[in-house]
Chains A and B, each alone.
Chain A
Amino acid sequence: MSVPPPSDALKSSYRLVRDPRFQRVLRVQAVLGSAIREYLNREGFLELLPPIIGPVSDPGIRGAKQATINFYGREYKVMSSAILYKQMMAASLGKIYFFSPNVRLEPLETAATGRHLVEFVQVDVEEAEATVENAMARAESLLSHVSDYARRELADDLAAFPRTLNGGTPPFRRLTYEEALRVLADHGREVPYGVEIPWDHEEFLSSLYVEPFFIRDYPRGARGFYDREDPARPGILRDFDLLYPEGYGEAVSGAEREYEYAKVIARLRETGENPSKYGWYLDMLREGIPPSSGFGIGIERLTRYVCGLKAVWEARPYPKVAGIYSP
């Protein structure tokens, strides 16, 4: 489904934020943030300040471009995701999270997916010594905590939208990537193996379910270099997406991390870059860090799902959509 962004409204978002429905969305968003913090703090995670800029950022961002700033004559990137720093901090403190603002200069084609913003916030969670299964369990337990919290604390708001929220009951359904392709193929939507599920197919797949569900075991090449390749199944990554049902699509993306220096060097070539660009990160891996797993959950997409909004630009103040110059 194509949802063209309302560029005039976005350009005067200072007016938009005073709209009562919009105000309600922002209040819900604040409560969802508290729910996430409540859960993670209770489970022993430490909230850290997020990095905003650094010499390198996440290159695995599906065609989007990183934003670059001039840092005293050198080049710095604005975080496209804090993935490298998550590994750094999990190595130090074990269980950590950030509310991390990210910028991705998305291709113009994403403007109408209803799911892409150029500037967004994700809660980045990382846990040392955790496996991909641990991370999936953590993600579903966090999401169901948040859904329960919302139904309990935000009943009036949900009724006002109106929205019936089915947060599902863990354990959520777990499809492998291959199974997901088969489901799509059964509906006449062929996706060749190895290819990331295109946006419209992902939305369709999500519309087939009424509760959140996982897709796991993506093939190497479909995800960033930091998603760990399964040593027992070369070519398969120990990673996952958690999808909202009802056509809302991707909620969470997560994985067990590559943490061994030599493997990361080879995996980094998938981006076509010279590994020297990732100097500090590789130095850190060479000195050694523990294995870890984690995930990121986008706040705007969560808000959209909870409130039942048409598009993600209704789910944050001053939204930035690809190609639209707005406040």
Chain B
Amino acid sequence: MSEPLTKLFMKMASVRSAAAAGRSFLESYPVDEIIQKAKYGTQALYPFSDLDEYGRALLGADIGMRQLRRFHTLDDLVLLPPIFTPKRLEKMTELQREPYFSDVRLETAIGGFRSRMPLAMASMGSTEVAHAASPHLGKAAAEAGIPMGLGENIATVWGYAKRTKPSMPSFRQRLFAYLDAMDEPFGGVVIQQSVEDAFDELWNKIYTDPDVEPFIRKGFVAFEVKLGQGAKPGLGGETKVSGDVARSLKGKYYFPEDPEKVERDLYERHSAPGTYTESILRAQLRSLRNNFPRARIWIKAGPFRDLLPLFRVAAEERVDAVLADGKEGGTGMSPTIALKDLGLPSLACLARINEARVEGLALPFVLSGRLYDGGHVVKAVALGATACAFGRPFLVAAGVAGAKGISNFLDATEVEIRMLVSALGKYSLSDVAREDIGSLDRDLADALNVPYVYV
């Protein structure tokens, strides 16, 4: 190839790769399914399209897969409804009629909060995509009566009470988008503090804020020690910020390019992962309890190889909940190599939660990491999780129709959970157990100690 041609080819390839990045998310993530739920709520639970509506369509299970996968996900498991259902008989006796899926009780205690279903809104941090949508996220989660996380660096980047950028909400506005819409006694907020937020004493600020005080008193506030995140375990939060924000944050974060010396539209901003040993963590958890006795204490763990020892420490220190975030969890910004090579898949995190249950650890566990439907929730609960946390589905749903989109999506997810649990002949989440799970893969069946369905 002559030189100008090579150049042209490279140029075309580079443009294509930008488009491909966007397309790759659309292809690999069930965006369409979430959009349908956000638009139509429970109407989207059936696989009708605009062309084949009820009465004219003939439908069956989709046996295809979107793509080849490198590792197992919760989609390699199925739920196994039985024909003989003693628990359904119990429920019928209680109700004096045949039970329906609407009779399933979904209320769940998650980490000191009451939630209307075994689901939480995962912590999203300071990245613009989450921050700009935060008024919708907060309102919808609060109205649905599920807990919501507030991720790292929000106050440090966007200001605690005073906005650092006129068009963007402050931390407090994001917090009160939730608190003001709460459907008490359901829900609660879980607030993270990065190493850099700690510099500004974020938790102390919240704990001494007179407007937050009533919510702390009623037990609706948790502080979450972040030990990592699914998409980049072992790495700190990363994002890009504009020049004026970068200059105000210099000194608190690591900037590979000095915003005072190099001219850029956006600057990479790295936060530290934080250093822990078992004794540091224990002491930190105790200090937290001593300093903020009326706040709940949560831990968010990335997909680390020593999850099980961490669970033991958390149980001994009487932490209110531990969230384990699998490697396929969402992210505003993570290095490609981290997404590819760092950490345990969500299902492997769930396997460790299951081991913890077998050991008898009585801790509430929340699982997250590319979970997006009722099936994921019921499977996770069957293997020992208390609840799941979703992140990206809420952002997609907010993008479709704001807070209404999220509440439609939640309605649909709630009905999915009810249908699946009732199909198992059960009407209470706590009855859902390992017996309800089967594996489509033999190795996975062995690893999780559940039946291989083709036996």
Contact = CB atoms under 8 A, between A and B. Distances in A.
Contacts of B284: 221, 269-272
Interface string B204-229: 11011010010001000000010000
Contacts of A195: 286, 289-290, 293
Interface string A262-274: 0000110111111
A192 B318 contact: yes
A221 B205 contact: no
A271 B208 contact: no
Interface stretch (B16-24, B271-279, B370-378, B393-401): B271-279
Interface in A245-281: 266-267, 269-274, 277
B387 to A, nearest CB: 25
B199 A220 contact: no
B201 A196 contact: no
Interface string A173-198: 00000000000000000001011101
Interface in A186-234: 192, 194-196, 198, 219-222, 234
A44 B344 CA distance: 61
A107 interface: yes
Contacts of A221: 282-287, 289-290
Interface stretch (A10-18, A57-65, A131-139): A57-65
A124 interface: no
A147 interface: no
A106 interface: yes
A248 B279 CA distance: 34
A277 to B, nearest CB: 6
B235 to A, nearest CB: 15
Contacts of B318: 192
A109 interface: yes
Contact of B286 (A61, A66, A198, A219): A219
B294 interface: yes
Interface string B289-302: 11111100000000
A82 B208 CA distance: 22
B100 to A, nearest CB: 44
Interface string B161-201: 00000000000000000000000000000000101101101
A64 B208 contact: yes
B199 A273 contact: yes
Given A108-B213, A273-B198, A63 B292 contact: yes
Contacts of A272: 193, 195, 198, 225, 274, 284
Nearest to A275: B275
A31 interface: no
Contacts of A59: 201
A267 B287 CA distance: 11
Contact of B208 (A63, A198, A220): A63
B33 to A, nearest CB: 39
Contact of A220 (B201, B205, B276, B283): B283
Contacts of A219: 286
A66 B205 CA distance: 9
Nearest to A193: B286
Nearest to A268: B280
Interface in A276-298: 277
Contacts of B207: 63, 65, 107
A106 B213 CA distance: 12
Given A109-B294, A196-B290, A266-B277, A65 B283 contact: no
Q: Interface centre among B199, B283, B292, by most A CB within 10 Å?
A: B283
Q: How large is the interface on A (under 10, 10 to 19, 20 to 34, 35 or more residues)?
A: 35 or more
B143 interface: no
Nearest to A277: B199
Contacts of A65: 201, 204-205, 207-208
A225 to B, nearest CB: 8
Consensus secondary structure, chain B interface: helix
Contacts of B204: 63-66, 105
B292 A267 contact: no
Nearest to A63: B291
B103 interface: no
A222 B275 CA distance: 20
B317 A274 contact: no
B276 A269 contact: yes
A323 interface: yes
B383 to A, nearest CB: 30
A327 to B, nearest CB: 20
A60 B294 CA distance: 17
Interface in A35-84: 59-66
A323 B213 CA distance: 11
A222 B208 CA distance: 20
Contacts of B277: 266
Given A105-B208, A107-B208, A192-B318, A220 B286 contact: yes
A219 B225 CA distance: 20
B286 A266 contact: no
A267 B283 contact: yes
A64 B196 CA distance: 18
B317 A194 contact: yes
Nearest to B277: A266
Contacts of B294: 109
Question: Which of B275, B277, B287, B317 is packed against the most chain A CB atoms within 10 Å?
Answer: B287
Nearest to A323: B210
A68 B189 CA distance: 26
B280 A108 contact: no
B330 to A, nearest CB: 24
B280 A266 contact: yes
B198 to A, nearest CB: 4
Nearest to A62: B291
Interface in A308-322: 322
Nearest to B217: A109
Contacts of B274: 269, 272
A235 B279 CA distance: 8
A271 B198 contact: yes
Contacts of A107: 207-208, 213
A66 B294 CA distance: 19
A62 B290 contact: yes
Contacts of B198: 271-274
8 contacts: A62-B291, A63-B293, A65-B204, A105-B204, A220-B279, A220-B282, A235-B279, A273-B198
Q: Which 3 A-B pairs have the closest CB atoms?
A: A221-B286, A65-B204, A196-B290
Given A220-B286, A270-B284, A272-B274, 12 more contacts: A60-B287, A63-B293, A108-B208, A109-B294, A195-B289, A196-B290, A221-B285, A221-B286, A222-B286, A222-B287, A273-B198, A273-B199
Interface of B: 193, 195-196, 198-199, 201, 204-205, 207-208, 210, 213, 217, 225, 272, 274-277, 279-280, 282-287, 289-294, 317-318
